[in-house]
């Protein structure tokens, strides 16, 4: 989160904040002279709605960039990542990633500002065995104290390698239902089945979450920009039928996107569910209604405020490590790139701007004070999180659009004051 000066709309808050000059750059603004990473979208090739992988799965990472053209990406990975309690991730055995890269696309309106690359690679089948994400023994100690006792002692006494072998055995056995039956073809499976039902199932959610590890992808773009991205590998996909205890994470999706035109100026915050100012929603994209407006022209008027809004699909239910249901949270990142005609440069105070201080779905759009700024591209990324769930795979997606501006004369006359 960047520190920013408060804008013209709320002088009161400016008085509360120590003096600092506005920076020429902002997080939300995409500059054409620097690479901006909009998103890394993970898709499991076996189920492209999922953003997580199981050992042995093939993954596709769609890297979306904007701004400076990407002409070079070097990708490396580590399949051995330790994450400390304080959040520091340490990667070991980092090496070049064996991948294929293609151009890809995301939901968009046809604009060509984005550089989109898709990387496909395979998760080593023995990744969880070789990773040091848990100690070989006493792995139960990683759990919070109050839930350690939920792990049956017979399982808790097993080593990490033994647990992984057990999980793989469970996932490999044909017809998972056979594990639910006490009558199996192979007597050896009987004990396994018994263990599955009596020992594993009651604490499946906790064990499967605990036995999650991260892959660290490191991308080096244009020889200058370093990006770290993490993907979670776990056995959830193999146990999806245990849907009360095991929930695989899907990528959230932008379902709707547009602009609120609010009939009151100088607003910095607007939510139609709680505020009463009259407004007009301009829908640029609606997946359910089949609406996609490309190259919309937004007429900027005096005495109005403008907000970009986005909606995502329903938030999934997740589970905490202790099995408590959690509704995941959708967070929104907004990016924009303005363009202008007829001039080489625009003063900072005249530029189009957008402030996202809350990771929320509605953000104020501050129109430019000059009609030279006649268009912009906007990206909205939605990603999910579920605090309480261990190494919750980050799902995300992006919607990109573009629209144009016209300005009323009244607005242009007043815009010097407004700024």
* Part in contact with another protein (CB under 8 A); list of ranges 103-111, 130-138, 246-254, 403-411: 130-138
Shortest gap between Cβ of 259 and another protein (angstroms)? 17
Structure tokens at 81: 């990542």
Residues numbered 37-66 forming contacts with another protein, rule: CB under 8 A = 37, 39-40
Which is closer to another protein, CB of 135 or CB of 281? 135
Structure tokens at 88: 């520091």
Residues numbered 334-393 forming contacts with another protein, rule: CB under 8 A = 357-360, 362, 381, 383, 385-392
Query: Torsions phi, psi of 236, nearest 5?
Result: -55, -40
253-291 exposure pattern, b = at least 16 Cβ within 10 A, e = fewer: bbbbbbbbbbeeeebbbbeeeeeeeebeebebbebeeee
CB 73 within 8 A of CB 102: no
Binding mask 181-200 for another protein (x = CB under 8 A): --------------------
218-251 exposure pattern, b = at least 16 Cβ within 10 A, e = fewer: bbebeeebebebbbbbbbbbbbeebeebbbbbbb
Q: Does 320 bind another protein (CB under 8 A)?
A: yes
Query: Torsions phi, psi of 363, nearest 5?
Result: -135, 145
Q: Does 83 bind another protein (CB under 8 A)?
A: yes
* Part in contact with another protein (CB under 8 A); list of ranges 18-26, 149-157, 176-184, 249-257: 18-26
Q: Does 20 bind another protein (CB under 8 A)?
A: yes
Shortest gap between Cβ of 76 and another protein (angstroms)? 13
Q: Which residues pair with 310 in a beta bridge?
A: 257
Q: Supply angle C-alpha 75, 76, 82, rounded to 5.
A: 140
Q: Does 204 bind another protein (CB under 8 A)?
A: no
Q: Residue 24 has what DSSP assignment?
A: S
Shortest gap between Cβ of 298 and another protein (angstroms)? 21
Which is closer to another protein, CB of 139 or CB of 196? 139
Q: How far apart are CA 350 and CA 418, in angstroms?
A: 10
Q: Does 146 bind another protein (CB under 8 A)?
A: yes
Q: Does 294 bind another protein (CB under 8 A)?
A: no
Q: Does 88 bind another protein (CB under 8 A)?
A: yes
Which is closer to another protein, CB of 24 or CB of 95? 24
* Part in contact with another protein (CB under 8 A); list of ranges 162-170, 227-235, 237-245, 409-417: 227-235
The secondary structure of the chain in percent helix, strand, coil, rounded to multiples of 5, reads: 20, 35, 45
Q: Residue 17 has what DSSP assignment?
A: S
Q: Supply angle C-alpha 387, 388, 390, rounded to 5.
A: 100
Q: How many residues does the chain have?
A: 419
Which is closer to another protein, CB of 58 or CB of 329? 329
Number of residues lying near another protein (CB under 8 A) = 81
Q: Which residues contact 159 (CB under 8 A, 6 or more apart)?
A: 136, 137
Which is closer to another protein, CB of 221 or CB of 284? 221
Please pick, from the candidates 117, 133, 170, 407, the single residue that binds another protein as defined by CB under 8 A.
133
Please pick, from the candidates 53, 166, 321, 376, the single residue that binds another protein as defined by CB under 8 A.
321
Q: Does 139 bind another protein (CB under 8 A)?
A: yes
Q: Does 90 bind another protein (CB under 8 A)?
A: yes
């Amino acid at each position: 989160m960047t520190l920013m000066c408060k804008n013209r709309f709320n002088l009161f808050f400016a008085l509360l904040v120590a003096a600092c000059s506005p920076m020429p750059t902002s997080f939300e603004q995409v500059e054409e002279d620097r690479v901006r990473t909009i998103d890394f979208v993970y898709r499991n090739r076996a189920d492209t709605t999922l953003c997580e992988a199981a050992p042995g799965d093939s993954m596709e990472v769609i890297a979306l960039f904007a701004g400076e053209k990407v002409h070079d990406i070097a990708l490396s990975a580590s399949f051995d990542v330790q994450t400390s309690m304080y959040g520091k991730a340490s990667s070991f055995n980092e090496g070049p990633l064996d991948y294929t890269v293609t151009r890809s696309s995301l939901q968009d309106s046809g604009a060509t500002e984005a550089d989109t690359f898709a990387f496909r690679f395979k998760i080593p089948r023995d990744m969880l065995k070789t990773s040091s994400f848990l100690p070989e023994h006493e792995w139960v100690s990683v759990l919070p104290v109050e839930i350690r006792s939920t792990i049956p002692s017979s399982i808790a006494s097993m080593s990490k390698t033994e647990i992984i072998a057990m999980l793989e055995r469970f996932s490999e056995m044909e017809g998972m239902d056979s594990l639910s039956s006490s009558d199996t073809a192979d007597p050896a499976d009987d004990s396994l089945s018994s263990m599955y039902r009596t020992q594993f199932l009651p604490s499946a959610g906790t064990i499967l979450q605990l036995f999650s590890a991260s892959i660290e992808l490191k991308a080096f773009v244009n020889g200058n920009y370093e990006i770290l991205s993490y993907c979670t590998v776990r056995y959830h996909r193999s146990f999806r039928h245990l849907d009360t205890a095991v929930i695989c994470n899907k990528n959230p999706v932008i379902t709707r996107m547009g602009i609120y035109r609010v009939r009151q100026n100088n607003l910095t915050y607007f939510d139609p569910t709680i505020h009463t100012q009259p407004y007009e929603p301009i829908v640029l994209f609606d997946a359910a209604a089949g609406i996609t407006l490309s190259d919309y022209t937004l007429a900027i008027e005096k005495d109005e405020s403008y907000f970009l809004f986005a909606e995502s699909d329903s938030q999934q239910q997740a589970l905490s490590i202790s099995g408590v249901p959690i509704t995941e949270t959708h967070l929104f990142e907004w990016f924009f790139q303005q363009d202008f005609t007829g001039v080489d440069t625009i003063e900072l105070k005249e530029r189009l701007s957008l402030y996202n201080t809350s990771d929320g779905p509605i953000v104020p759009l501050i129109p430019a004070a000059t009609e030279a700024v006649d268009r912009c591209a906007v990206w909205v990324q939605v990603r999910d999180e579920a605090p309480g769930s261990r190494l919750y795979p980050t799902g995300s997606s992006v919607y990109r659009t573009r629209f144009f501006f016209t300005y009323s004369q009244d607005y242009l006359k007043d815009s010097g004051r407004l700024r």
